[in-house]
Amino acid sequence: MHKVPKGVTLVVGLGVSGRAICRHLARLGVPFMVADTRSAPPGVEEFQSAHPQVALYCGPLEALDMSEAEEIVVSPGIDLRTPGLAELRHRRRTANDEPLVVGEIALFVRACRAPIAAITGSNAKSTVTTLLGEMAREAGRRVAVGGNLGTPALDLLASELDAELYVLELSSFQLDTTPWLGAHSAAFLNLSEDHLDRHGGMAEYRAAKLAIFRGAHHGVVNAEDPQTWPAAPLPHLDYFTTAIPQGDAWGIAHHAGRDWLMHGEERLMPADEVRLAGRHNQANALAALAMGHRLGLPMAAMCRVLRRFEGLPHRGEVVADVAGVRWINDSKGTNVGATLAALAGIGPTLAGRLVLLAGGVGKGADFRPLAAPLARYGREAVLFGCDAQRLAQALEGQVATTVVADLEAALARASQIAQPGDCVLLSPACASLDQFANYQARGDAFCRWVSRHIKGREGQ
């Protein structure tokens, strides 16, 4: 049996985060070795070139004796129930009684010397993270943005930028291995079914997300989703809602013929001036404003960002508006909750109806909640991929459905049936891995098709 030498830190997983962990440990001079369950993990040549003296074990973890490891640092992509790791998950280190098994964010917290703003949720966390980072920059702050989005958190620490604020998007996988975060401001945006194959159930998934509030000075939660509320009191807690705000909450109210973003009774800016489309994005704006306010960012600077920020690729991205039909790429809608948010945010704004393109790998999710908003706003659901039939069954009798082989066929069908005032929305409610390498590749395919077949009609 292979063995981790005594006093050596073991890094499990050689993905993007795993390699960032290795770089961090190397900078600190901490002795470490690496294990990966794959026989030939991608990036192994890059790793060996950067760390030629570091031992690498490839194979099942149960064949690796980890009993004398100083610490085990697990990449987010590694399931903590993996044989060989599961038995050690709840073990403590004898030296300081801290958990033996931790993740990259635990290392980040130890080394970080500036306030942390952290965002999690089943959906929209990338948008809110990016918005808050842009707001901080607009206010003149030296801010570093990353985590589950963009640059790995540990690599942010190696930047030449002397950051005075770190804004991190954190997934449930990252939070599951973070015993203490201590964020200056932490937001839990929403909760819907996702990653149940990894967490085992909604209770476990929610518990992982709630770890974002451990040691937090300030929390931001969704007034319309009590599942986001912390189990224990926080020093300061703000609520956001798309309804009229109660008390000091952040919300939306009607005044003089327009809807306004509000903080309590204070009008901040007209809601229709938020560049991001849809009510769900106005909720995202309110969450970012609540965090920024606590971080001391000027309201004027934050509102300037909201007036110009166009959003992220594959997240409610308007690709074309031709002959009265809008084409939106929301390929990042990889679960039911994300697609529900898109339907509820875009549907009420249309003069026409929604043509939804959905399907892929459903991860065991219940698709039935999509039926009611599609009955209200939908013209047709065009379904593709391995779970298309399951989707069709869930929507039966509520909206017209057509099952096709793939995204290209779905787009062709949508172009035939869309009418002026309609929106063709790619928001699949599913992962992409049955037909694409990732959601980005799926969104790129949507954009290419629309550019080739739809944009050429402009001006005709």
Mean pLDDT for the stretch of residues 441-455: 96
- The residue count for the chain: 460
Catalytic annotation present for 190: no
Tell me if 432 sits within 8 A of 444, measured CB to CB.
Answer: no
State yes or no: pLDDT of 457 exceeds 70: no
- Bridge partners of residue 177, in order along the sequence: none
CA distance 49 to 43: 10
User: Which pLDDT belongs to residue 460?
Assistant: 45
Spot the catalytic one: 51, 125, 280, 332.
Answer: 125
Q: What is the pLDDT of residues 345-355, one digit of tens each?
A: 999 889 999 99
Catalytic annotation present for 195: yes
Spot the catalytic one: 195, 217, 453, 455.
Answer: 195
User: Which pLDDT belongs to residue 161?
Assistant: 86
Query: Which has the higher per-residue pLDDT, 168 or 318?
Result: 168
Task: Locate the domains of the chain by residue range.
Answer: 2-103, 112-308, 317-455
pLDDT band at 340 (very low <50, low <70, confident <90, very high): very high
CATH topology of domain 317-455: Protein-Tyrosine Phosphatase; Chain A (3.90.190)
State yes or no: pLDDT of 252 exceeds 70: yes
**What does each C-alpha distance from 242 to 229, 251, 345 come to in angstroms?**
17, 5, 10
Mean pLDDT for the stretch of residues 9-15: 97
Q: What is the pLDDT of residues 145-173, one digit of tens each?
A: 999 999 999 999 998 889 999 999 999 99
Longest dimension (CA), the chain: 74
CA distance 221 to 231: 12
Tell me if 432 sits within 8 A of 438, measured CB to CB.
Answer: yes
User: Which pLDDT belongs to residue 206?
Assistant: 95
**What does each C-alpha distance from 141 to 158, 170, 230, 238 come to in angstroms?**
18, 21, 29, 23
- Reading the block at residue 108, the tokens are 């980040």
Catalytic annotation present for 254: no
3-state secondary structure string across the chain: CEECCCCCEEEECCCHHHHHHHHHHHHHCCCEEEEECCCCCCCHHHHHHHCCCCCEEECCHHHEECCCCCEEEECCCCCCCCCCCHHHCCCECCCCCCECEEEHHHHHHHHCCCCEEEEECCCCHHHHHHHHHHHHHHCCCCEEEEECCCCCHHHHHCCCCCCCEEEEECCHHHHCCCCCCCCCEEEECCCCCCCHHHHCCHHHHHHHHHHHHCCCCEEEEECCCHHHCCCCCCCEEEEECCCCCCCCCEEEEEECCEEEEEECCEEEEEHHHCCCCCHHHHHHHHHHHHHHHHCCCCHHHHHHHHHHCCCCCCCCEEEEEECCEEEEECCCCCCHHHHHHHHHHHHHHCCCCEEEEECCECCCCCCHHHHHHHHHHEEEEEECCCCHHHHHHHHCCCCCEEECCCHHHHHHHHHHHCCCCCEEEECCCCECCCCCCCHHHHHHHHHHHHHHHCHHHCCC
Which CATH number is 2-103's, of 3.40.1830.10, 3.30.1600.10, 1.20.58.220, 3.40.50.720? 3.40.50.720
CA distance 76 to 195: 12
Mean pLDDT for the stretch of residues 98-127: 96
User: Which pLDDT belongs to residue 459?
Assistant: 47
CA distance 4 to 69: 6
Query: Which has the higher per-residue pLDDT, 363 or 146?
Result: 146
Q: What is the pLDDT of residues 261-302, one digit of tens each?
A: 999 999 999 999 999 988 999 999 999 999 999 999 999 999
CA distance 288 to 92: 37
The CATH number that domain 112-308 falls under is 3.40.1190.10
CA distance 443 to 428: 10
Nearest 10 degrees: Cα torsion 202, 208, 213, 215: 150
CA distance 290 to 239: 8
Mean pLDDT for the stretch of residues 57-80: 96
User: Which pLDDT belongs to residue 392?
Assistant: 98
Q: Which residue has the tokens 């079914």?
A: 193
Contacts of 416 (CB under 8 A, 6+ apart): none
State yes or no: pLDDT of 201 exceeds 90: no
Residue type, 203: A
Spot the catalytic one: 24, 123, 148, 293.
Answer: 148
pTM of this structure? 0.88
